[in-house]
Structure 1
Amino acid sequence: MQKELVQDATTEPIAFDPIFFATRYKNELTNNILPFWMQHSKDEANGGYFTCLDRNGRVYDTDKFIWLQGRQVWTYSYMYKQVEERPEWLAFAQHGADFLEKYGRDAEGNWYFSMTADGKPLVQPYNIFSDAFATMAFAAMDKANPEPRYKKIALDTFENIIRKQHNWKGTFNKLYPGTRPLRNFSLPMILSNLSLEMEHILGAERVNSFIPTVIHDVMEVFYQPEHGLILENVTPEGRFSDSFEGRLINPGHAIEAMWFIMDLGERMGDKALIRKATDIMLQTLEYSWDKEFGGMYYFMDIKGNPPQQLEWDQKLWWVHVETLVALAKGFLHTGDPACGAWFNKVHQYTWQHFKDPQYGEWFGYLNRRGEAFLPLKGGKWKGCFHIPRALFQVWKTMEKIQQKNNAQ
């Protein structure tokens, strides 16, 4: 057992105790995060969820975003199956699924990006990640409450993603064709997790057929061994592009992908792959950690140039909670003390700066100094997904670490 000291936001320093972390993360999930969204986000009149919530949960905008609708359906149906079969969780997931099924797609089955409160389309289906999170939602609903229509929606949408994956913006692509074509890291990253979410529908054989290509793309094409980092964009041949997009590092994406890869490595019994993913995760964390104020930068330029994203130095909720998941899994699989030490450090920063002890839930956006500069708990991008998923993953991983300790 690691003995590094942990300064929790509401406790005295303690030894690195997996039981403590398992209990703390479980309680935060079940007693704070899930109740907050059930209390404040349900649209009783139209169906679906409001995600634009201010600090105390008041709805400040009623537009609905497919990413967040799908993610919230996934969260409650997943927790229903994995944590406890509470009827209210399943009913809450069903509430969102019904809205998505009724209003979320165009005639060709492509999922819109956003809608009005009553389901009128606002933004065209230009973004394949709307399809990805709808797939996750209905695959999880099919596990929680098996229905042929859920299975069909999930499978039809997944097949649509596979068909569009090499030109997924289609007519909505604003780039001039042929001048600087680039491949983006986001879709291979999502597919590495989405294929596992769909296994009960796709079957193990088909999922296994996806895995080598996904691992190759993530770990060989976008990973740059000379830097030890993952690029967000590469040329179609997998080469470096010395441009704003080509130099872009998104530490949160890279680290989140590494715990997806660890899960695939565990499935395959590939310890070398898990070790490589752990090393990339640690290298990315070291590279992106703000040595002056703490926390992880949002965007970086691999050559140290000024990033084009003006929000590059902000500290975002999802980056930090996904890092906690990756560190916990890295420690479980490798026992590397660096994972334990970094988990302590990231845990302290995350719980002290993002958690709102007064009104519940967590802040999403901090400035470089770690101060919350937007009082929202949800909006166009932040909803009920990254935090509950991460709390669950850390909770369960810490339990496995303790079981491993007990067996030694």
Structure 2
Amino acid sequence: MPVRAARAQLEAVIFPFWLEHGIDHVNGGFFTCFDNRGRNLLSTDKFTWSQGRFVWLLARAARLADQNLLDADPRELSRLAEAGAAFLVEHTLRPDGTCHFVVDRTGRPTAGPAGETHSVYADCFVAMGLAELSRQTGDPQWLEIAAPVLDTASASIGAGTADTPPYPVPPGHTAFGPRMILLNTLLEYARARQELGLLTDEDRAALGAARDVMLSHRLPNGTFREMIPDRPDETTLVSRHRVPGHAIEGLWVALEAGELLGRTGIPALLASIPALCESAWDDDHGGLFRYVDHDGAAEPRGTDAGSPYEALVRRTWSTKLWWVHTEAAYTTALAAQRYGDSAAQGWFDRIWAYTLDTFPGGDEGSEWIQIRERSGKPLDEVVALPVKDPFHIARNLMQIVELGALTAHSYSAPAGT
């Protein structure tokens, strides 16, 4: 396991950048609107999506520091996480159980680049951050605040009515993304409640149901549909395209949710890992494509209605993104180390090498340069939100460090897997 390399990146590159540049010590909350190279703060607006994620990161980092898995002061990390959570509670929560999409530097609600005022993704990441903070501090108040936000998000995603900026779901389709993020949020919420001795059968049932719903996107060949059409149609771009990174991320969430629930059926999930990696791997330049066709690692084909989402797929399908690779690195590491899956080990070795060779900024920028052209060269464009998000890199590197510690202590996967 590359625990040493992951920990070195966290301690020498990732956290030094964000702790120095990302904390707003005057108004509270966090700055994340840096350019792709991490050299310029382009805006002091605070997107709730990233604010909730930042709270999660700090709380999880404090947990690792408490376990001597990260060289940092756990009390200071917890203090920063609590301050960030207080900013979220004061400035982003709305009476209806949702959250503002973005606030300005001082916390006043504003609108996103396309006029967005709400996204269920922001709601989920607020709930996720508060849950992790509760788990770390042992303070149930954060879970109590998160509960109505999570309930509202769960209901809207289940009903298919959720606002999903910056990725609006094309009409006539059900999307994988909201379902995957909801499962991830419910998993973090359940873990926190379990840690505090509050986990109920209702919590378990909600987690299991969300897991089943997300896995309904899985196809017989092991890949996943990103969009399920109301009417079967394999001629459209929306129906044909795949987002392997999303599905690979969803697999580790499903595996870990299954562990908490004692679920079996792990072999099918493990079989999806090489199928998804193979479907996305760029044989010419290395790395995983952002979008692919349902026939494999090639440009998505099909008719389109001219929507912004379809234009995004066509324009950026071959880009290489940070989050796709770090999520894939953790998923393959988990499958290899915890379940002894040799195919996953081979993919981990390939993806980990590409990730460390490609994304760290080095002389070209601070932290990691997250957005790359097909060839691996920096591409100074916006992905999703106009932020340099701290979430995926730090989360996945911390997960790899934690996985190494668990493996060293002879973790056993659930029986019947």
Please classify the TM superposition score into its range, dividing by the shorter chain length: 0.7 to 0.9
Matched with 1:365 is 371
Contact 1:318 1:386 in 2 (8 A): yes
- Gaps of at least 5 residues in structure 2 are 67-72, 303-309, 412-417
Q: Quote how far apart the aligned CAs of 1:203 are.
A: 1.6
Taking the aligned partners of 1:399 and 1:87, their CA distance within structure 2 comes to 21
Count residues in correspondence.
Answer: 381
Q: Name the structure 2 match of 1:169.
A: 162
Q: Tell me which moved more, 300-309 or 71-80.
A: 300-309
CA positional deviation for 1:376:
9.2
Residues 1:76 and 2:58 are matched in the alignment: yes
Post-superposition Cα deviations, 1:252-311, rounded to whole Å, max 9, x if no partner, equal 10000011111123334445x222112112101001000100111001221551674211
TM-score by length of 1: 0.85
Residue range with higher mean Cα deviation, 103-112 or 293-302: 103-112
Instruction: Tell me what 2:9 maps to.
Output: 28
- What is the aligned partner in structure 2 of residue 223 from structure 1? 218
SS of 1:234's partner is: strand
Aligned counterpart, 1:182: 173
**Residue 305 (structure 2) aligns with:** none
Unaligned 5+ segments in structure 1 are: 1-17
Instruction: Write the mapping of 1:45-60 to structure 2, written as runs, cut at 5 A.
Output: 45-54=26-35, 55-60=37-42
Cα distance in 1, alignment partners of residues 260 and 136 from structure 2: 23
TM-fit CA distance, 1:397: 1.8
Tell me, yes or no, if structure 1 residue 264 matches structure 2 residue 257.
Answer: yes
Give 1:175 shift.
8.8
Within 2, Cα distance between the matches of 1:379 and 1:170?
15
1:284 is aligned, of 272, 276, 284, to 276
| Deviation at residue 32 of structure 1 after TM alignment | 2.0
Sequence identity percentage:
26
Report what 1:15 is aligned to.
none
- Superposition RMSD in Å: 3.0
Name the stretch that deviates more: 144-153 or 189-198: 144-153
Match of 2:348 among 322, 327, 343: 343
Contact 2:127 2:147 in 1 (8 A): yes
Matched residue of 1:368: which SS? coil
Q: Comparing 286-295 with 227-236, which one deviates more in the overlay?
A: 227-236
Which residue in 2 is equivalent to 1:160? 152
Match of residue 324, structure 2, among 312, 316, 319: 319
Q: Higher mean Cα deviation, 95-104 or 387-396?
A: 95-104
State the secondary structure of the residue aligned to 2:287.
coil
**Structure 1 residue 320, shift from structure 2 partner:** 0.1
Cα offsets for 1:223-252 (capped at 9, x unmatched)? 121x43101111358x56642222221111
Does 1:112 find its partner at 2:105?
no
Secondary structure of the structure 2 residue equivalent to 1:372: coil
Q: Distance in 2 between matches of 1:180 and 1:244?
A: 13
Q: Given the two structures, how large is their TM-score scaled by the length of structure 2?
A: 0.83
1:148 CA displacement: 5.2
Q: Secondary structure, in 3 states, of the residue corresponding to 1:324?
A: helix
Residue in 2 that maps onto 1:65: 47
Give distance in 1, aligned partners of 2:357 and 2:164.
45
- Partner of 2:393 in structure 1? 387
Distance 2:168 2:10 in 1: 41
Does structure 1 residue 121 correspond to structure 2 residue 112? no
Greater displacement, 386-395 / 228-237: 228-237
